[in-house]
Amino acid sequence: MLRRSLSRLCAGEEKRVGTRTVVVGHRPVLETDAYVAQKFCDNRIVSSKYTLWNFLPKNLFEQFRRIANFYFLIIFLVQVIVDTPTSPVTSGLPLFFVITVTAIKQGYEDWLRHRADNEVNKSNVFIVENAKQVRKESEKIKVGDIVEVKADETFPCDLIFLASSSTDGTCYVTTASLDGESNFKTHYAVRDTTVLCTDEAIDTLTATIECEQPQPDLYKFVGRIIIYRSNQEPVARSLGPENLLLKGATLKNTKKIYGVAVYTGMETKMALNYQGKSQKRSAVEKSINAFLIVYLCILLSKATVCTTLKYVWQSNPFNDEPWYNEKTKKERETFKVLRMFTDFLSFMVLFNFIIPVSMYVTVEMQKFLGSFFISWDKEMYDEEIQEGALVNTSDLNEELGQVEYVFTDKTGTLTENSMEFIECCIDGHKYKDCISEVDGFSQTDGPLKYYGKAEKSREELFLRALCLCHTVQIKEADQVDGLMGQPERKYTYISSSPDEIALVKGAEKYGFTFLGLENDFMKIRNQKNETEMYQLLHVLNFDPVRRRMSVIVRTTTGKLLLFCKGADSSIFPRVQQEEIQQTKVHVDRNAMDGYRTLCVAFKELTQKEYDKIDKQLNEAKMALQDREEKMAKVFEDTEADMHLIGATAVEDRLFQTSTELLELTARTVGDSERKEDRLHELLMEYHKKLIQDVPKSRGGLKRSWTLTQEYGLIIDGSTLSLILNPSQDSGSSNYKNIFLQICLKCAAVLCCRMAPLQKAQIVRMVKNTKGSPITLSIGDGANDVSMILEAHVGIGIKGKEGRQASRNSDYAVPKFKHLRKLLLAHGHLYYVRIAHLVQYFFYKNLCFILPQFLYQFFCGFSQQPLYDAAYLTMYNICFTSLPILAYSLLEQHINIDTLTSDPQLYMKVSDNAMLQWRPFLYWTFLGAFEGLVFFFGVYFLFQNSSLEDNGKVFGNWTFGTIVFTVLVFTVTLKLALDTRFWTWMNHFVIWGSLAFYVFFSFFWGGVIWPFLKQQRMYFVFAHMLTSVSTWLAIILLIFISLFPEILLIVFKSMKEKSHQTDPFDLPMLVSYKRIENGYVKNEDAVTNLAERYPLRIL
């Protein structure tokens, strides 16, 4: 019986895959049935990565996946297994330090996640069991439990809304923790369960819910509830996003609600949305890998040369086996190839410090600590929302200094997303001032220049459409803190879209006031102060694909009306073609003025047509599979053959300091039957003007930006689709390349009315061009997420369209104006700092290991180390690490105000300029020069057999210690010479590191250490400094090593003084609005903008 009933309810339903059935309250449908609990995950949230038991193996596995760590692990193992000249401690201790620091950092971060998880999992909730409230911990909620949530509490899991304290079965929710939207959203209970608003009543409910398996989209949900009543047929109702209360959202302005858990724990939409994004890699990381390969080749070459020369040296029997060092029997019997291989490995170990393993941990610390400077920047703090900038990905800090193309959304990014109704058009007549029942002001667009009005009935029809076609809710002003109305109003409008509120207020300005929705009836007050009632039958919700929404209402006289509003490109193909032109003129003019335009249409339905639509909609809503596609087909069929009434213009004002004006020129692709032909003509014309007729400059693409004649391009989404997705028979496969060449030659490109996918396509097209330019996307809405994720760097605006953009971005800022400082100051400095850090690490390690290589020529290639093991170990960990870390965090080679005022400085470091092969070779030759000075300077000093008054001779450890002392002082003072911005911290770490080295050397050589077999450094350092010759040699060699750098600094300083220019003059900040809208007119406002502001906004 039950199965037959369900079959009738779901007739025509295809075999369902990927659905789940939830038994409400764990009560079986029939009393005779035995209830078998289904297995779903519990309600524990687990955001942590490790547990106490798997932390060590899992963390070690992840760390040794990094090539550098794995390389040093191999070197360490070679030192342990093979008889190498240096102790395993020299490689093992730095590796242990890097691994330990990284593990502690990751372990602490994971402990914080564990603590946050426990706060959520152990919080108290109330479950309705046997008509009573039972207090439980949140983690013990099971799928099917009926949960009670009170005002201002967050939902502990994803719930299907069953009933509330409100008689109409509604509740208000904020989802700030999910998508950042602080305005209220209205959710609806299933109509059959709204009366079950007590513990006893809700406990009597017998129902099952069939819904889709968990998926991360916050705004999609497909399901149905089947309610069983004794002696009655089961009732099935569709469930959608409006019935789903998401975990993490907060209940507002409702005393309590009852809901049944459908998704729990890690299957909630909130948990599914916190999965990691794809990893983005910066250009600096790629440069580091390239430099590592070069230095690895140098290492292999050194080991090969020394191994070869060793056996050349040992070809002389006396050199191979001198009388004082005879070989053992085992050494004589060893295969020569094996001995050569072990010697090669020994030399690899001896020179392995040329690969800077500590650089990775220093770079990580620099990125992590440096990201706080963005968050702490007071100039990027917004008082209105009480928030500052946010760093979601510190790995891309330096990429902010390499951006070549900026892709920006307009609404909410360049504009305030604060909508104001400006004017409307009814049958081609413009209405800009308030109209009354007696008179009004209007103006006709188009060639006829006279004042006139539309028919009274058409005016009222248009205003009724504005009052009825929306999803706005009304609430008392003192109870709601969402998007507020005017202060004197006794009520306030609530909507997820500021556009809808602006249109309802616009209708009110013209005499039609929306009074709210009550029991499925929409109430409006007309110009005669009479209340009109309309039964709301269906809402065809807005979606970004259709770009329109509709409502079907029934008047008190029984007339059935469909009202539709949407973008002109979405409405015009669905109305009578003869009605379009008079409204299109008005829409195009408003669009050129920068207003947001919507077209309004209607059609009258017969009862038969409505019955068919109602049946199709209900069938589509009940589908569990492909519901959206089925609904879209019904919407498409319903919203056809409509009649155009008019259009609206809403202003979204530009931020005062959002961006400098880019003057654009536009040509329109006409409405001919074959748009491809006209498009081909325009593309060829622009290509000839911008590429073929322009003389080629030797400087390449970037120099061409500074041409005196600048161009901009405006293109709309429909034309763009012809370019990006050409038809097969159009012969336009090369459109994309031609269009790209045109875009790259323009100072700015403005794309209008684009779908989210098209935004990502444009970014990808530019990103994949020759040279792989660095791209940045910035937006504030969910429709910008695709281009934010596609670009090299994604910036989210904490705007009024929600926080999906900022959640999915690499960086989030309160306003678009903050992008200027983020790029020109922070980005520039981050890049310069980390580029200097990388080059400095390779330089100081080459200085360190080159004397060791040269020393082999004077010790018979015996693999004798030049430096003591303690120095080998401490060089990168203690003696030279802190100064460069402080430099990479604090250096400001140019004042921040100068950086933000002169964009040309940004271009000087673009294209990864400081990490190209030319500066890399400069640093390499500098390191090689200083390494030669260190070794041969001390070598010539030792030509005098006696360096002391008493005639005693210094030994090889004194030789190595002098070289090492000159090395440490030189590389540290080199960094001091490079420092332009001195703070107390720079002074502390630079002079403190040198003092620590001296102190450590005295301490290390002043004690006889019981754990050392050989006390070879005992009193060496102190004894060395008793010689005046040693003091003079150290000072002289440091000066000789740094002399080329000092000359270069003096030369640059003299050159800068001789070429001083006037301070940079910023262009005016203007807008494209006309003077009548309260903004400056843009004609002749800016010249040579591309030369002054080289970042192109697409």
409 noted as active-site residue: yes
Q: What is the H or E stretch that residue 465 is in?
A: helix 456-468
Q: How far apart are CA 659 and CA 656, in angstroms?
A: 8
Q: How far apart are CA 442 and CA 423, in angstroms?
A: 10
Distances (CA, A) of 940 to 752, 943, 944, 962: 73, 5, 8, 12
Distances (CA, A) of 700 to 745, 907, 1092: 11, 14, 18
The catalytically annotated residue of 145, 158, 343, 409 is: 409
Amino acid at 779: G
Does residue 558 contact residue 537 with C-beta atoms inside 8 Å?
Answer: no
The C-alpha R_g of the chain, in whole angstroms, comes to 37
Alpha carbon of residue 183 to chain centroid: 24
Alpha carbon of residue 831 to chain centroid: 18
Closest by CA to 811, choosing from 199, 206, 391, 363, is 391
Reading the block at residue 1096, the tokens are 């192109």
Beta strands 596-605 and 415-426 are unpaired
HEC per residue, 33-90: CCCCCCCCCCCCCCCCCCCCCCHHHHHHHHHCCCHHHHHHHHHHHHHHHCCCCCCCHH
Q: How far apart are CA 822 and CA 179, in angstroms?
A: 24
Reading the block at residue 1013, the tokens are 């077999």
End-to-end Cα spacing for the chain: 63
Beta strands 531-540 and 521-525 are antiparallel
Rounding to the nearest 10 degrees, give the CA dihedral for residues 954, 960, 962, 963.
Answer: 140
Q: Which residues touch 780 (CB under 8 Å, ≥6 apart)?
A: 409, 411, 412, 413, 417, 796, 797, 798, 799, 800, 801, 805, 806
Q: How far apart are CA 33 and CA 288, in angstroms?
A: 67
Closest by CA to 367, choosing from 290, 279, 291, 284, is 284
Q: How far apart are CA 989 and CA 562, in angstroms?
A: 74
Closest by CA to 800, choosing from 375, 477, 410, 483, is 483
Q: How far apart are CA 821 and CA 906, in angstroms?
A: 11
Q: Which residues touch 80 (CB under 8 Å, ≥6 apart)?
A: 88
Amino acid at 165: S
For 451, the 3-state DSSP assignment is coil
Closest by CA to 565, choosing from 475, 629, 502, is 502
Closest by CA to 1015, choosing from 962, 942, 957, 953, is 957
Q: Which residue has the tokens 């980005």?
A: 827
Torsions phi, psi for 438 (to 5 deg): -90, -50
CA angle 734, 739, 741 (to 5 degrees): 100
Does residue 1061 contact residue 637 with C-beta atoms inside 8 Å?
Answer: no
Q: How far apart are CA 67 and CA 1004, in angstroms?
A: 33
Reading the block at residue 649, the tokens are 């213009």
Helix, strand and coil content of the chain, in percent to the nearest 5, comes to 45, 20, 35
Alpha carbon of residue 547 to chain centroid: 26
Alpha carbon of residue 978 to chain centroid: 33
Which residues are marked as active site? 409
